[in-house]
Chains A and B, each alone.
Chain A
Amino acid sequence: MPRPFTPKIVTANDLLIGDVIYQTADDDWTRDLALAEILTDEADAQLRLLHAERQRDRLVGAYLADVTQGPDGPLPAHFREAFRAKGPSNHHHGKQERASHV
């Protein structure tokens, strides 16, 4: 039996600001993990990643990150993604200080 596919999101860093962004289903980018598009099919995930990688004047270092399905959208599966989604723990900087909008 094939192993079940862990749901994914496409994430990257914004070219100009350098902050964490997520791909949305309507082909835009959001700074809010909850609004990211959840990819549940492996082939589809690869296509969405390729699509992101082509946007080289918009972002840097796109990759697929594991998520779990939460009640209000995707939740980070690994603590690294949790820190990316939140910001550093020693200063109230990063996403925790900004209202999330695109």
Chain B
Amino acid sequence: MYDYTDFDRAFLAQRNSQFRAQVARRIDGSLSEEEFRPLRLMNGLYLQLHAYMLRVAVPYGTLSATQIRKLGEISQRWDKGYGHFTTRQNMQFNWPALRDVPDILEALASVGLHSVQTSGNTIRNVTADPFAGAAADEIADPRHLAELIRQWSTDHPEFQFLGRKFKIAVTGSPHDRAVIRSNDIGLRVLERDGALGVQVFVGGGLGRTPLVAQEIRDFLPLDDLLPYLESILTVYNRLGRRDNKWKARIKILVHEHGIDRIRDLVEQEFPQRRATYAPDIVTRQLELVAARFARPDLKSAPIDAFTRAYDADPVFRSWSDTNLAAHRDPDHAIVTISLKAHGATPGDVSADQMNLLADLAERYAHGELRVSPEQNVILPHVHKSDLPALHAALKPAGLATANIGLASDIVACPGMDYCTLATARSIPVAQQIATRVEELKLEHDIGALKIRISGCINACGHHHVGHIGILGLDRAGVENYQITLGGDGTEDTAIGARTGPGFAHEQIVPAIERLIHAYLDLRRDPEEPFLQTLRRLGADPFKAALYPQTAIAAE
């Protein structure tokens, strides 16, 4: 865990008292909404359909037991007893009253959490591989870079008024679990000739114009990281469009000028930027940050208890097979706790569940938790002998669903149940698909299948990178759902392609069911996952299943 310095604490306290005064001035009428809105957005406070919404950053997805317990307490005291985890490793509270927000921020600050730069045209919460520090395939802990970037970007005067929001994601593994190529900047830690560096991608983003980030630097020495990021942002600040909100992201700049031209401009800028940093200063800073991340003291003990339970208990076995990932220590496991019980709201977690997660993290996982971009919670360091007890404790709380990576592990944005920008609902679609999948008892047979749902073209639910993507639209005053196929959010990032006309709310679940059955019929063998079958055969046989009428008419 990262351990805060006095500087961090003083900064948050100062920032919160500033916002408290701004809220008071809004309430007494001395600030108009036009004046107040940018101030509240700088502090993560939105106004949604039914209430205010406060977005809390979970920096690089890492939470301590103390922090998640505090989030639970906040949800109980000032909200409706639950919180919602998003795909960008934030927690959203859906019901705070304006007057309470300064108190909430103070409660957050007491455990080192905040809402700074979770909104607005700034560098947002830096996201990272949720398996950071634990993954078997990790080269270096991406959170060290993420924390350094957070310190550098927080309140950075040059980057407080960007053309648009700016999102950075970091992975320290070759396998990408942080969707880095859908971010404005994606960083992948690499090792070359014994030295660490990063591969830099730029210009990714979903939304109205989905684009995959392109490589701008194949290997950047770590000491150049901050001046290089500054160079990219400077080019963006200088050339990025401000005339049209929909063309203002850096992805459009990269798309319009081409990656080679952008690379040249960044390289031209780089020497001046580099000169403002003393040699080795970034490296030394990074070492200081790294030293504040304590590596847990992993225990060594026999794992017989695990093996016995695995052999004896089919429910535990099924959960182990889907929800565990390889830890760097073979006697430990990374546990993904599903927030996708069939029929639940993806990403919602109740205060009781947060309390339990805090207790279990303390008991079995060195007090550490992670939030995944797929809206689940992770215990990164669990000794295998503790897994049966952990599983037993999760079960009664509705947290033992064995579905990670399966059809019911759906990512969905809040959609029209909460979001003012929505054109249709997404949560009920996710709930209904998951419920149907459970009725069919097929999801373990189906295997890896990522369904992603957004309630408008902003694509907060990552539908473009879902194997099956669902986009909710408003067609002449009726909810209508478009399907895309073949998206992928991993190191092979791909944007899904639209299948054809959309489906009405009542038709979308049957349509997804037809796709699933088509896959089961079409796959070469049970080992061939959905995405591979789709890539082998193309979308046509799936479209035929989606639109049986059209297929007949065309014959």
Contact = CB atoms under 8 A, between A and B. Distances in A.
B50 A88 contact: yes
B477 A18 contact: no
A15 B50 contact: no
Interface stretch (A22-30, A32-40, A41-49, A55-63): A55-63
Interface string A7-21: 000000101111110
A61 B417 CA distance: 18
A57 B28 contact: yes
A79 to B, nearest CB: 7
A15 B478 contact: no
Contacts of A84: 49-50
Given A16-B27, A56-B32, A91 B80 contact: yes
B345 interface: yes
B478 A79 contact: yes
Given A15-B27, A16-B98, A18-B52, A78 B477 contact: yes
A73 B135 CA distance: 60
Contact of A18 (B32, B80, B97): B97
Nearest to B51: A18
A90 interface: yes
Given A56-B33, A79-B479, A17 B97 contact: yes
Interface in B401-439: 416-418, 422, 425, 427-428, 431
B47 interface: yes
B27 A93 contact: no
Nearest to B348: A90
Interface string B90-107: 000011011100000000
A45 to B, nearest CB: 20
A42 B477 CA distance: 22
B29 interface: yes
A18 B47 contact: yes
Given A15-B27, A88-B417, A60 B50 contact: no
Contacts of B425: 83, 89
Give the contact-size bracket for chain B: 20 to 34
Interface in B16-43: 26-29, 32-33
Given A80-B416, A89-B428, A90-B417, A19 B50 contact: yes
Nearest to A83: B416
Nearest to A16: B98
B95 A61 contact: no
B33 A60 contact: yes
Given A16-B98, A17-B97, A89-B427, A57 B48 contact: no
Contacts of A94: 50-51
Interface string A84-102: 1001111101110000000
A57 B31 CA distance: 9
A60 to B, nearest CB: 5
Given A18-B98, A80-B416, A87 B345 contact: no
A83 B33 contact: no
A18 B50 contact: yes
A81 to B, nearest CB: 10
Nearest to B30: A57
A15 B348 CA distance: 26
Nearest to A78: B477
Interface in B304-359: 345, 348
Interface in B453-474: 474
Given A79-B478, A88-B50, A57 B29 contact: yes
B99 A18 contact: no
B135 to A, nearest CB: 33
A93 B50 contact: yes
Nearest to B34: A56
B418 A88 contact: yes
Contacts of A89: 417, 425, 427-428
B433 to A, nearest CB: 14
Interface string B343-378: 001001000000000000000000000000000000
A79 B28 contact: no
A19 B98 contact: no
Contacts of B348: 90
A19 B27 contact: no
Interface of A: 13, 15-20, 56-57, 60-61, 77-80, 83-84, 87-91, 93-95
30 contacts: A16-B97, A16-B98, A17-B97, A18-B47, A18-B48, A19-B51, A20-B49, A56-B32, A57-B28, A60-B33, A79-B477, A79-B479, A80-B416, A83-B49, A83-B425, A84-B50, A88-B49, A88-B50, A88-B417, A88-B418, A88-B427, A89-B425, A89-B428, A90-B427, A90-B428, A93-B50, A93-B80, A93-B95, A94-B51, A95-B50
Top 7 closest pairs, chain A to chain B, by CB = A57-B29, A88-B417, A18-B52, A18-B51, A94-B50, A90-B345, A90-B427
Given A57-B28, A57-B29, 11 more contacts: A16-B98, A17-B98, A18-B97, A56-B32, A79-B478, A83-B49, A89-B417, A89-B427, A93-B80, A93-B94, A95-B50
Interface of B: 26-29, 32-33, 47-52, 80, 82, 94-95, 97-99, 345, 348, 416-418, 422, 425, 427-428, 431, 474, 477-479
